[in-house]
A and B are shown apart, each in its own frame.
Chain A
Amino acid sequence: MEKVKQKDLILYSGLIILGLAAPYLFSAFKVQLTYLCVLIVLAMTWNLQGGEMGYNSFGNILFYGLGMYLTASVQVGMFFPLAEWTESGGEKTFVHTTAQYFQGIGVGLLVSAIIPAIVAGAIGYAILGLRGHYFAICTLGLGIAAGEIAGGIEIIGAGQGFTTPPFPAEIVDVEARGKFFYFLSFFVLVLAFVFVKYIYGSRFRLILNAIRDNEDKAEAMGIQTMKYKIVGWMVSAFFCGLAGGIMGGLIGYIDSTDVAFDGREMGVFMVLMAILGGKGTLWGPIIGATLFHFFKEGLWTFILGWQYVALGVLIVVIVIYFPEGLMGWLREKYPERFGEVIDEKDRKSQVELK
């Protein structure tokens, strides 16, 4: 791992302080801030295999949805019969005590990180042999299929949806729930950032890049590309699962196709955010997600009913004017600010400026 420089240290500690203070500074925006954290995690981890490895996946929503259902199921199933909880006609109402609630969500999140990672490993083994468009289309199918399957499983509510356990009523402070989910998502964000940052300084990233740039050559050089591809996807799945688990608890209601396996929204958003910010960079997805979230929250209410048209225009603008994303655009414009020393002689000899 590269040494953390002093200036970086100031930046990071500043960001962490901002992150910790945010729910107090902008008390009314806690839910939006939580969404922002989750969106950043999704964009950042999508970038790992979409940006670094060059495998555009529309299937990460699968792990997100899986994490959501798993957390909620574990949280309920640990203490009460799951089938009775989800059965809509059931007159019984179960109430979690404070301790049960937090134990449940803790174990649930753990499960929702590990199982999606294992699933990613298994699926990855089967489909990561596909390349380019074939991989993208295949993963697109995964998300859609998962939504339809989940919509037919009675024990998790099927078409009725799954109401996740409400925040314990014994905690009187109405702000407590918002704070809890914010800090939880912020913690996951920090965890994901540290991990991704670590990967950026490691040989692992170089291998992923090698796979992106020329997989056959990488293989010829003795890199077991399959192994690294699977591991890369598992890392994404791990964090997608966690993000899903948090969102399930925050939203309070899981619907198979609209909330959990929401490929039409979340699944597209995570790709869009990474591309907006600049895929294949550390900060790109973070900036992309932040901008996207602000655009969405700020602008959408002013153009009621037309927001998806505006989103479509945004996508077109990004693709035409910022094909490399915002970071890529900045980098091209001010390469020296990115620590790139331009040696004219060297530049001329360089075929591709990356």
Chain B
Amino acid sequence: MNKIAKLFITFISAITLTLASISSSFAKVEDGYIVLGSAISLTGKYSSNGVHTQNGYNMAVDRINKMGGVKVGGKSYKFEIIYYDDESNPKRAAQLAERLIKQDGVHYMLGPYSSGLTKAIAPVTEKYKIPMVEANGASRSLFTKGYKYLFAVLSPANQYLEVAIDLAVEKNGGKPVKIAQAFEQDAFSQDVRLGILDAAKRTGSKIIIDDKLPKELNDMAATLAKVKATKPDVLVVSGHTKGALTAIRQISEMKVDVPMLAMTHCDAAKLSKQHGKNSEYALCASQWHKNLSYKDKFFGGGKKYDKDFKKEFGYAPPYQSAESSAALLVFKDAFERADSFDRDKVRDALKATDMQTFYGNIKFGPGGQNVAKPMILFQVRCKGDTCENKVVAPTKWASDKFFHPIPPWSERG
């Protein structure tokens, strides 16, 4: 046994030495760099949206650094981001947030992708009083907890599809409608569901199907079979990228006829490209669209952002990228107004944010959510074989008329 003991003591001392030698930490502002930290989903079920988010961040960092950086106290600083992969797992995300703050010495954070992960990170940033600007956590419950250091550039999740129900009622001559809905079992989609419940109550509509979809979903045939049998007026589906893809794939396979189909994450799923004509008439909630008329001096307008992003990354930016870029604009603006690296001053400056970016107006409500920007709805429309997302609501930016009802599959080519 004493031999094992010796072995063990050697082992422990080796570990101790290793730990002691690596426990140096970076400074938050060093050599003219402002270091931001972010845990992002590079693997796991949110990996595609995680990459959209990261691309959005990187694009803005490059652009801001190229255009003179951030001016604080008469000196110009550049942004730099430390990334970790949170594996789409809240447990890992919380641990990495701790690591960024404690070991890498990060004093300002950018959000992860998805509400669930943001929910896991927010208690950590709050504890250490680290301002976090997040662009991808829309769950309403994030904004009711009284967090003081959390700022979201997006509209809360419950607003995503409420408008769609109003639209359906309007098309039904103001009479209540029958709603079928299916939502993934996660924080974001469940909040979208709460929004629909509110809208249904307000309009007196009836929910006839209310299904839950598993995470990592790839089959919702059971729900669709019920939809076929009960003939609702609206079908609402939300389950991130996979939810959108699964819904369209199976609706077209099973030839499910429903007058209106409302979804989320259509552009992140590149629905119009992947499913072409099968995705036509799908109505999608979006935080942003390139046709909106917002402007800023870094990216110009939405169309220019779209072009630049395509050039850099080879695909059209989904709103997840746009809102992520906007998060950095917010940070830059706050640093310059605070004119200091004092965290509380930066936080107060963030709180007082009132600006326009290419992505939309940004002004934070008491809970940290963006209250200055409405959600938009677009509809997938096809001309020949090319399909595009056309904005249909709100009317201020609508480029096309909302097409209703969706023609039955027997009449679609």
Contacts and interface: CB of A to CB of B under 8 A. Distances in A.
A159 B190 contact: yes
A265 interface: yes
B120 A8 contact: no
Contacts of A324: none
B124 to A, nearest CB: 7
Interface in B62-111: 83-85, 87-91, 94-95, 98-99, 102-103
B382 interface: no
B127 A167 contact: yes
Interface stretch (A29-37, A41-49, A216-224, A231-239): A29-37
B187 A88 contact: yes
Contacts of A8: 1, 5
B9 interface: yes
Interface in A262-302: 262, 265, 283, 287, 290, 294, 300-301
Interface residues of B, number: 60
A158 interface: yes
A127 interface: no
B116 interface: yes
Interface in A173-205: 174, 177
B186 to A, nearest CB: 5
Nearest to B185: A159
Contacts of B321: none
Contacts of A29: 19, 23, 102-103
Interface residues of A, number: 61
Interface string B16-39: 101110010100000000000000
B12 A18 contact: yes
A338 B42 CA distance: 44
A294 B15 CA distance: 9
Majority DSSP secondary structure for residues of B touching A: helix
A31 B102 contact: yes
Interface string A137-153: 00000000000100110
Interface stretch (B141-149, B261-269, B387-395): B141-149
B27 to A, nearest CB: 14
A31 B5 contact: no
B1 A339 contact: yes
Nearest to A327: B4
A10 interface: yes
Contacts of B212: 151-152, 159
Contacts of B119: 161, 163, 253
Contacts of B124: 252
A31 B95 contact: yes
A31 B215 contact: no
Contact of A256 (B5, B98, B126, B185): B185
20 contacts: A5-B2, A7-B2, A7-B5, A14-B9, A25-B20, A26-B23, A29-B103, A31-B102, A32-B95, A90-B144, A91-B144, A158-B185, A159-B212, A161-B116, A161-B187, A251-B90, A251-B120, A258-B89, A308-B43, A308-B87
Name the 8 nearest CB pairs between A and B, nearest first: A159-B185, A337-B3, A88-B141, A252-B123, A253-B120, A28-B102, A305-B42, A11-B5
Interface of A: 5, 7-8, 10-11, 14-15, 18, 25-32, 35, 88-91, 93, 148, 151-152, 158-161, 163, 166-167, 174, 177, 247, 251-253, 255-259, 262, 265, 283, 287, 290, 294, 300-301, 304-305, 307-308, 330, 334, 336-339
Interface of B: 1-5, 7-9, 11-12, 15-16, 18-20, 23, 25, 42-43, 83-85, 87-91, 94-95, 98-99, 102-103, 116, 119-120, 123-124, 126-128, 139-141, 144-146, 158, 183-187, 189-191, 194, 212, 214-215
Given A14-B12, A251-B90, A337-B7, 16 more contacts: A7-B5, A10-B5, A18-B16, A28-B23, A28-B102, A31-B95, A88-B140, A88-B144, A152-B185, A159-B184, A161-B116, A258-B89, A283-B4, A294-B18, A304-B84, A338-B3
